[in-house]
Chains A and B, each alone.
Chain A
Amino acid sequence: MSMNGMITYGYLIPLLPLIGFLINGLGRNFLSKKMVGLIGSGVMVLAFAMSLIIFKQVSEVGFKTEVLFLFDFIKTAGLDIPFALQFDQLSTLFLLVITGIGSLIHIYSTAYMHEESSAHYARYFSYLNLFVFFMLILVLGSSYVTMFIGWEGVGLSSYLLIGFWFTNNNYNNAAKKAFVMNRIGDLGFLLAIFWMLAQFGSITYAGVFAKATTVPVSVITGITLLMFVGAMGKSAQIPLYTWLPDAMAGPTPVSALIHAATMVTAGIYMIARSNVLYSMAPFTQNVVAIIGITTALLAATIALKQNDIKKVLAYSTVSQLGLMFLALGVGAYTAGVFHVMTHAFFKALLFLGAGSVIHAMHHEQDIYKMGGLKKKLPITHLTFLIGCMAISGIPPFAGFFSKDEILTAALGKHVVYYILGVITSLMTAFYMFRMYFLTFHGNFRGTDQQFNHVHESPVAMTFPLIILALLSVVGGWIGIPAVFMENAHRLSDFLSPVYAMSHLQTELHLSHATELALMAGVLLLILVSIFSAMRLFAKSDLAEEHSSPLGKILANKWYIDELYDLVIVRPINHISSFFARIIDIKVIDGMVNGVGKLIHFSARQIRLIQSGQVGSYVLIMVISIILFFIFQMFWKI
């Protein structure tokens, strides 16, 4: 395999954030904030520039996947796991998203985090760089083990960043919840890795996919299901999604980068990467699709009634991730990856916009205490509106194309998927615009003091907003469906080599007229739901929402947290306390103390034999010898 061009130096891309992490982490006590911000963002921009060059190389016609071998990770007889980076269409696409959006969010953070003391500021940037390092290892690795290293690493950085304000114990609990829930998923992934090693004897993508057809379908189904358990944890799907809304405890740029644009899409990446295996296991595909659409629906209903601006976005992220899994489940890998990309643009934009609002409102997150911010925050308002339109799927914004592609693919598989997907989209449009109108229209509902302090954010924050808004407008144009323009789906052509090995079923060919009619129908419904959101929430005299029973259930997130508490947490606590009180204290301690007591007791009894009387010693000796003789006589050896 010939190495050429920039890919030879591809290892620098993950190395740069690692260097940034080390410098900022070690120098946190003496580097100035300016210096820290410069290093933290600088390494990201450099990595992004390198990614662009590599992307250009990868997108050339006739490019073949290149694996950059770095060192042997594990090498024993029969087990050879190299540490290598794989550059192909899928990994470079993710590379661009991670380093590109990562750079913007680093720049944004320099302003957003300016209130922190310089040591904490440096700690923040070092964690953020560490996260990017692990995320790059995750997508660039050429084997499942390398992916797993990154997988665990991003979990760690996510934990560190959610609990960044560690003096607040609720935030620590949120961090722990995220970590524990992710660990449950990680176990599935780990088992899948072991199984693959046992089955294929190799763990590199190339090695596994080459031998995939040699094993029975049941094995592939098992492996892919276990892998999907990992994806459930990382990408917040039912039943492991509850950590993501709590993860909003972290600083808002962290939510934008980790819990919207990159880390949570790791599960999508894993399945898209393993498309060869998934395409062989129809059962797993159905599971993925059903879990995906159920999560999408459930999260969307919860988002309808949330009042915390970040919670709405969090549930919206869970819902959108569900749609992506639906796409993967129906075999439309390109649509899933496409939505990852567009979602990264508009969800990062929305989170950063929300961050800008929160920043302006001095850490007020309740949308019922906002309102009428349109004039005070013109740039934030405009970019936020673009983000809302993009996520709602209004043409020509980015979300329209990717969501439409997913829905079309879902219709090709089963009409129920399509209908549920459309309902999810309608709810998405409704709750996004509910949030938009409550935040930016109507009258201000906070205190006068708050109102006077509201100000537009500095340029370091508005610049990323503008860039992301632009991307949210044009980002979808790389995947224009055939119904508008023939052969204009550039992303599909670009990614096709990645799916060359799996035999994708040919998608449903609707007539262009039907497709257009469906599209127009959905668009009309979306516009209706936006309009009804405007009628309800753009009023200047907004009454408190009267709570219907269903509304109360939704506001309390279907009581899923309470259910988990009842079914899992409390029984475990009870069992633990039982073990602590009975097994540990009575049995284990009893055994240990019992041994000591036994020795003590027997020593007190045996001590009496040592009387000091020589006669008695001799007597014992004689008796013993006689016994010994008798023993020897009757016991011939």
Chain B
Amino acid sequence: MPINYYIFLSVCLFCIGIIGVLTRRNAIVIFMCIELMLNAVNLLLVAFSRMHHAAAQALDSASYAGAEAQIFVFFIMVVAAAEVTVGLAIIVMLYRNIHSVDINFLNRLKH
């Protein structure tokens, strides 16, 4: 399968994520959109990694070159998971304080 499909899919996911972040007001939805963008990038990373690895193996079947990024994606997932716990905790605290998760109420830094 050509790399173009992966890139197209990942750009689509990323744009959906951006539009979601920009248009939605619900903090949880925005949060999910951010995750979507993150995973679009992950997908791209895996796709490129696979492509480079295949090219390297064609020259030398014992080569592992290009495979590192696939490992790297797992790290990103772990870090993202940690980030989600923190983010969700913040949203929960938000809800407890203002009884809403609408980000348009979160403009108090201005004052």
Contacts and interface: CB of A to CB of B under 8 A. Distances in A.
A612 interface: yes
B78 to A, nearest CB: 25
Chain B: interface residue count, which band?
A: 10 to 19
Contact of B22 (A610, A611, A612, A622): A622
Contact of A614 (B18, B103, B111): B103
B110 A618 contact: no
Nearest to B103: A614
A615 B107 CA distance: 10
Chain A: interface residue count, which band?
A: under 10
Contact of A612 (B18, B21, B25, B109): B109
A497 to B, nearest CB: 92
Contacts of B107: 611-614
B66 to A, nearest CB: 25
Contacts of A613: 104, 107
B106 interface: yes
Contacts of A611: 107, 110
Contacts of B104: 613, 615
B106 A614 contact: yes
A619 interface: yes
- Interface of B (DSSP majority class): helix
Contact of A618 (B21, B25, B108, B109): B21
A623 to B, nearest CB: 10
Nearest to B25: A615
Interface in A619-636: 619, 622
A618 B22 CA distance: 7
Nearest to A610: B110
B75 to A, nearest CB: 24
B110 A622 contact: no
A622 B18 contact: yes
- Interface of A (DSSP majority class): helix
A615 B27 CA distance: 11
A5 B111 CA distance: 90
A403 to B, nearest CB: 95
B111 A612 contact: yes
Interface in A557-614: 610-614
A610 B107 CA distance: 10
Contact of A615 (B103, B108, B109, B111): B103
A610 to B, nearest CB: 7
A615 B110 contact: no
A130 B89 CA distance: 86
Nearest to B108: A612
Contacts of A619: 22
A102 B109 CA distance: 83
Most buried by B among A613, A614, A618: A614
Contacts of B109: 612
Contacts of B21: 618
Contacts of A615: 22, 25, 103-104
Contacts of A612: 107-111
B22 to A, nearest CB: 6
A613 B21 CA distance: 13
Nearest to B21: A618
Interface string B72-111: 0000000000000000000000000000000110111111
A622 B109 CA distance: 21
Contacts of A618: 21-22
A614 B101 CA distance: 13
Contacts of B110: 610-612
A21 B21 CA distance: 86
A410 to B, nearest CB: 93
A619 B20 CA distance: 11
Contacts of B106: 614
Interface in A388-433: none
A611 B110 CA distance: 7
A614 B30 CA distance: 11
Contacts of A610: 110
A615 B106 CA distance: 10
Contacts of B25: 615
Contacts of B108: 612
B77 to A, nearest CB: 24
A557 to B, nearest CB: 78
A619 B24 CA distance: 12
A615 B20 CA distance: 11
A610 B104 CA distance: 14
B18 to A, nearest CB: 6
A249 B1 CA distance: 109
A612 B108 CA distance: 7
Most buried by B among A610, A615, A618: A615
A395 to B, nearest CB: 104
22 contacts: A610-B110, A611-B107, A611-B110, A612-B107, A612-B108, A612-B109, A612-B110, A612-B111, A613-B104, A613-B107, A614-B103, A614-B106, A614-B107, A615-B22, A615-B25, A615-B103, A615-B104, A618-B21, A618-B22, A619-B22, A622-B18, A622-B22
Q: Which 9 A-B pairs have the closest CB atoms?
A: A612-B110, A612-B107, A614-B103, A619-B22, A613-B107, A618-B21, A612-B109, A622-B18, A618-B22
Given A611-B107, A615-B25, 16 more contacts: A610-B110, A611-B110, A612-B107, A612-B108, A612-B109, A612-B110, A612-B111, A613-B104, A614-B103, A614-B106, A615-B103, A618-B21, A618-B22, A619-B22, A622-B18, A622-B22
Interface of B: 18, 21-22, 25, 103-104, 106-111
